[in-house]
Amino acid sequence: MKGLLLGGFAAIGTGSGAMLALHAGAGLDPMYSVISEYAWASVGWLLPTSLTLFAVGAALVAAALRRAGAGPWVVGLLVAWGICMFLIGAFPTDKPGVPLSLSGGIHRYAAFGAFLVMPVAGLLVARARVRYARQVKVLCGVALSALLVVVVPYVVQMCGLPFAGVGVPAGLTQRVVVVTEVAVLALIAMSLLDSRTRNRAGVRLKTS
């Protein structure tokens, strides 16, 4: 199990490094440019690289949870998050002004799925009172709150209603969601390093 967790940390850390390098080299405004737009930058190849590494990290942490005795719900949610991360990277979004394509649609809905399932997985793990449970709860709450700020304007516009809210920096709120969810994944992995936490997580998550 320790090997799985170390591999997970390596993938998460390398993926985070690739994401930082992407932001440093793209030259876009992170406050208002969403992460998907970075795919069209000169260093855009770092985006699918980073997301694929996050997907690998999620798969390894899910495997470690499974070995710890966690039930299929938590394991499945982490696997689903990893699959969504891979799809986001494999199917780039459309360029501004272009009608929604199949690739853009897969990208959009995979992103929504990823943003939604990680907080649910984190809250399930936190219920087991594992180590870092409080921090995981806080991060999940922040992620869900930021997700609402990201999604509500889109839903309102899709319904054909005017949106009179204050201009929200979409880039900033999206990054809050991504950073908090990657942090939740890392904390879940860290909680499994302690043998007592592993045993407690296995029992509690299996019966949740």
Q: What are phi and psi of 168, to 5 degrees?
A: -100, 130
What's the pLDDT score for residue 203? 43
- Name the residue with higher pLDDT: 6 or 97: 6
Residue that the structure tokens 């891979």 belong to: 86
* Average pLDDT of span 139-160: 77
- Name the residue with higher pLDDT: 188 or 96: 188
What predicted TM-score, i.e. pTM, was given to this entire model?
0.87
- pLDDT band per the 50, 70, 90 thresholds, residue 107: very high
What's the pLDDT score for residue 207? 40
Residue whose C-alpha is closest to residue 153's, from 175, 137, 174, 139: 174
DSSP state of 35: G
